[in-house]
Amino acid sequence: MQKLSSILLVDDDATTNYLNESLLRSLNVTDKFIIARDGLEALSLLQSQCVAPTTSCPALILLDVQMPAMNGIEFLEAYQQLPQEHREAIIIVVLTTSMHSRDLARLHELPIAGLASKPLTEEKINTILQLHFKRQLPH
């Protein structure tokens, strides 16, 4: 399977970031991980790294909702305002524990590719790859 260029993990919980990174690494999905502790950090990362012609822009963002400073929804609202070249070909999947219906409704209006409930598993990663990257994990 062809590996993804890089994955951005956005979560204020260090344990979660550790778990997701170690799972993705063990499945050989990518070799490059970028970690952000809240929305603000993620946003500045994108602004600095996704300007053409650099190629360090992440192919996939796994985004938490409940975060201090800037939460996932606020991040997506700000992300929408970014110039087109910062957003090109980035797949954003939102990881949730529990969702308030108000937030869920808001999410559907924002540029996300999908939702996945925590914790992340092999099956969920495979589904994301099949749906959004036309590839799957080797058996």
Looking at the chain, the number of H-run helices and the number of E-run strands are 6, 5
Residue among 79, 106, 105 nearest 90 (CA): 79
Assess 119 for contact with other proteins (CB under 8 A): yes
Residue among 86, 3, 5 nearest 75 (CA): 86
Stretch that binds other proteins, among 2-10, 51-59, 97-105, 108-116 (CB under 8 A): 97-105
Stretch that binds other proteins, among 21-29, 53-61, 108-116, 129-137 (CB under 8 A): 21-29
Please say which residue, 19 or 137, places its beta carbon nearer to other proteins.
19
Taking every pair of Cα atoms in the chain, the longest distance, rounded to a whole number of angstroms, is: 41
Assess 26 for contact with other proteins (CB under 8 A): yes
Among 120, 125, 128, 129, binds other proteins (CB under 8 A): 120
Stretch that binds other proteins, among 46-54, 83-91, 107-115, 117-125 (CB under 8 A): 117-125
Give min distance, CB of 22 to other proteins, in A: 6
Helix (H) or strand (E) holding 82: none
The rounded distance, in Å, linking the Cα atoms of 36 and 63 is: 9
Assess 23 for contact with other proteins (CB under 8 A): yes
Q: Residue 36 has which token pair?
A: 């952000």
67, 43 Cβ separation under 8 angstroms: no
Q: Which residues bind other proteins (CB under 8 A)?
A: 12-13, 15-16, 18-20, 22-23, 26, 37-38, 41, 66-69, 74, 97-98, 100, 118-121
